[in-house]
Amino acid sequence: MAGHHNPEFDNHSGTDVTPPQTAIIWRTFWILAGITALEFLIAFTMPANTLRIAIFCGMTIVKAFYIVGEFMHLKHEVKSLIWSILLPCIFVVWLLVALLVEGGSIFGLR
């Protein structure tokens, strides 16, 4: 699909026609598709336990890395922008852990 670009195509500006640079985009797509397919495989072959949850979380973070890093181009931005997006997310992780513990203790009290 990446190679369907028409070489004699006119880009309306009348200037140089640069060829599409889509190799990295398709590589990222195949990585994302592969991880999702692997997630399905694990969902049906592995018994539900803490290890499986950890694997799913890890794979989700890898997918998030590729979407944010390549598709949203954050990987190629300046460091200060990268950190101002990433650092606030640490608080989200903290909130997640804190409230999961809280949920567990509500379960214990019921």
Partner 1 sequence: MAATATTDATTTFDKKTWMGGVEPMNASYGKLMMWFFLISDTFTFSALLVTYGLIRFSYPAWDPAIHGEVFQFSNLYWPIPEKVYNSVPFFHGVDLPLVFVGLMTFILIFSSVTMVLAVEAGHRRDRADVEKYMLWTILGGLTFLGSQAWEWSHFIHGTDQGTIIRELVGGEWIQRTIFGANLIENQYGPPAFADLFFFITGFHGTHVLSGVVLNILIFYRTATGLYDRRGHYEMVEKVGLYWHFVDLVWVFVFTFFYLV
| 43 lines the binding site for partner 1 (CB under 8 A) | yes
Q: CB of residue 11 vs partner 1: minimum separation in angstroms?
A: 5
| 60 lines the binding site for partner 1 (CB under 8 A) | yes
In Å, how far are 37, 46, 50, 77, 99 from 84, measured between CA atoms?
Answer: 32, 37, 32, 11, 24
Q: CB of residue 55 vs partner 1: minimum separation in angstroms?
A: 10
Buried-state track 47-80, b at ≥16 Cβ within 10 A, e below 16: eeeeeeeeeeeeeeeeeeebebebeeeeeeeeee
Give Cβ neighbours of residue 67 (< 8 Å, ≥ 6 apart).
Answer: 32
Q: CB of residue 89 vs partner 1: minimum separation in angstroms?
A: 7
| 38 lines the binding site for partner 1 (CB under 8 A) | no
| 39 lines the binding site for partner 1 (CB under 8 A) | yes
* Of 95, 25, 23, residue with least CA distance to 66: 25
Q: CB of residue 43 vs partner 1: minimum separation in angstroms?
A: 6
| 51 lines the binding site for partner 1 (CB under 8 A) | no
| 34 lines the binding site for partner 1 (CB under 8 A) | no
| 106 lines the binding site for partner 1 (CB under 8 A) | yes
| 44 lines the binding site for partner 1 (CB under 8 A) | yes
